[in-house]
Amino acid sequence: MAVRECVQPALSNGLQRLNFVACPGQSLIGTQQVAWLNFITVSNQSSAFVRLEFTDLIGRMADGTPVANFAPQSGRVVVIGEEPLLEMVHGTNTQPLLFLYGQPASGYTIETRPNLASGAWQAAVPGLTITTNLWLGFPPPASASRENYYRALRR
């Protein structure tokens, strides 16, 4: 499958219009992936989870007929600066999972404490290494406390 992409001038800061058109003699059938979006951040950008929203999306056939099974998906971009990011999600079995995002390096530590307002942070998972994947997923450490707060540090 071949797709031709047309990037138009930015509509405003953070708002871009993209058009994807099948090349002559080609068609988009089934669940084919049409495009990959790549992002480059400015230098010294802080680490952040950035929401990526697609709005005003339209799928049409070459004759202008709307496409019935057009299903775009919004998502997010994980920007990795100097500081690590830590996220907790529910796994497929509803058990929590921690995801650590950071620059490839060793010396990351996950710390925890049962009260966010006070108390000392305790090392829960020391000596983590992030490789070229830029993330590492694992279950949270066992705890006697019903509530736990976590943070990630690079030492």
Q: Whole-prediction pTM value?
A: 0.73
Residue 1, pLDDT score: 43
* Mean local confidence (pLDDT), 130-152: 89
Q: Average pLDDT over the chain, rounded to whole?
A: 82
* Mean local confidence (pLDDT), 93-121: 92
| Residues 38-95 pLDDT 10s | 777 888 889 999 888 877 777 777 677 777 666 677 788 899 999 999 999 988 888 8
Q: Output the CA–CA distances (angstroms, integers) from residue 122 to 7, 36, 52, 114, 148, in the order listed.
A: 49, 40, 34, 10, 11
Residues in the chain: 155
Q: Where are the domains of the chain?
A: 1-79, 82-154
